[in-house]
Homo-oligomer: A and B are copies of this chain.
Amino acid sequence: MSINIRPVTGVGEVVPGDDLAHLILAALTPFEDESTAALADGDIVVVTSKAVSKAEGRILRAADREEAISRQTVRAVASRQHSDGSGTTRIVENHLGLVMAAAGVDASNTAEGTILLLPQDPDASARNLRAEFRRVTRANVGVIIADSAGRAWREGVTDMAIGAAGVMVLDDMRGRPDAGGRKLSATVVAVADELAAASELVRGKADGVAAAVISGAEKWVMQQDGPGARAIVRPSETDMFRRGSAEAHADGYAAGYAAGYAAGRVR
């Protein structure tokens, strides 16, 4: 009934072209034969977005950062100038539907003078890793690609799932009875985000630990790859916070001013 989370240490620095599945398996394997790797049916391997991006060669020159953010941006959500004049935080929706500062473009834990883009298709990356883990170890594991992000209303970042395969990313409890026998009304748990957050606790930020293995969460590991982490993204049309408060206010003010001006003239 308990859950155990262990870091995968010893993967080392990941470079473009690396076979990340085998780096992780090798780090998990006490012997040369990777089929003895310490992965069992029902384990969930949480891999950092950063490691996946590096293996996939999603690296650009730091000088191209602003342009890269613009190219990753599908929709501006909110922005704010730093009070110390050090620049502007741009919160945008990127091509994955994720709302993130700087579109998820990352400059920490990368080689000097470089930046990292998010994986092109993290759900596909998760499926590929899963297939390779299965081929080598024969274990039916889940895979999550995790990245850190800020939240509305809360200080600090937490890890969330930006890619997934073989994991029930949302556990829909609606209609199930609660402990008192009444139906739970509106509870869908974002399990994949909770698993990603849990894994961050053993991975840390500065340690360069590329992955973690979660045991005891087999109830959420599926045979099929499933819809992936994309299913956790709320469509912006139904999102009550699709636009920053200041930006939405300014949009409304402009529209209201035009309408009011026209009405005042014809009075």
Interface residues of A (CB under 8 A from B): 1-7, 9, 13, 78, 80, 91, 98-99, 107-112, 148, 151-160, 170, 173, 176-180, 182, 184-185, 187-191, 193-195, 197-198, 200-202, 205-208, 216-217, 231-234, 239-265, 267
What residue in chain B is nearest A193 (Cβ atoms)? B158
**How distant is the Cα of A4 from the Cα of B246 in the complex, in angstroms?**
43
Contact B185 A108 (CB under 8 A): yes
Contact B255 A78 (CB under 8 A): no
Contact B194 A200 (CB under 8 A): yes
Number of copies: 2
Contacts of A109 in B (CB 8 A): 178-180, 184
Contacts A7-B2, A200-B194, A261-B263 given: A189-B148 contact, CB under 8 Å?
yes
Contact A187 B205 (CB under 8 A): yes
Kindly identify which residue among B189, B195, B206 contacts A178, using a CB–CB cutoff of 8 Å: B206
**How distant is the Cα of A4 from the Cα of B251 in the complex, in angstroms?**
49
Interchain nearest-CB distance for A75 vs B (Å): 11
Contacts A245-B243, A261-B261, A263-B264 given: A205-B180 contact, CB under 8 Å?
no
- The residue among A5, A108, A208, A245 with the most chain B CB atoms within 10 A of its own CB is A245
**How distant is the Cα of A173 from the Cα of B185 in the complex, in angstroms?**
39
